[in-house]
Structures are given as structure tokens and as C-alpha cells.
Amino acid sequence: MIYRPDNGEILGVHIFGLHAADLIHEASNAIALGTRIQDIKLAVHAHPTLSEVLDELFKSAKVSDHASSSVSDPVAV
């Protein structure tokens, strides 16, 4: 995942391997709708399922507590 740490904007997500097609939809919908990491990390993911992979990904992102309007360098997770 590539995102802006200053405001939590998700810029891109790459998923490869078995069941990638089952997982990418959540990330692509988040990007299309402008969902921020701060919001999506609160989503409930069923257990045990593949979607927990994305749950862990979003929760591992380090986003500033105070969103700013200035552009910062993207971060890859």
C-alpha cells in the first residue's frame, strides 16, 4: 500500500498471489470513494477470512493525528 502519512489518503495498493482477486476490491473501492486509512481501519473484518489481511495492512499504516493540507511524500507499507 502507498499512502500519504499526513492525511491518510490511500494512493495505491498492490496485491498478488492466490486469492488476490478476492481481496483487491476493498482497496480499490476505498481509493475510488476517497476513504482515508483512519476510517477504513475501523471496519470490521470477519474472522477467519482472507479479508483480515487487509485489516492488518490498514492497521499497520502510520498516519498523522492531525491531517494537513500540504503534500507530503507517499509511504509504502
Question: From CA 39, how far away is CA 24, in angstroms rounded?
Answer: 18
Name the residue among 6, 33, 23 with its Cα closest to residue 57. 23
Q: Are 34 and 42 in contact (CB under 8 A)?
A: no
Known catalytic membership, residue 47: yes
**Active-site residue (options: 14, 19, 25, 47):** 47
Catalytic residues: 47
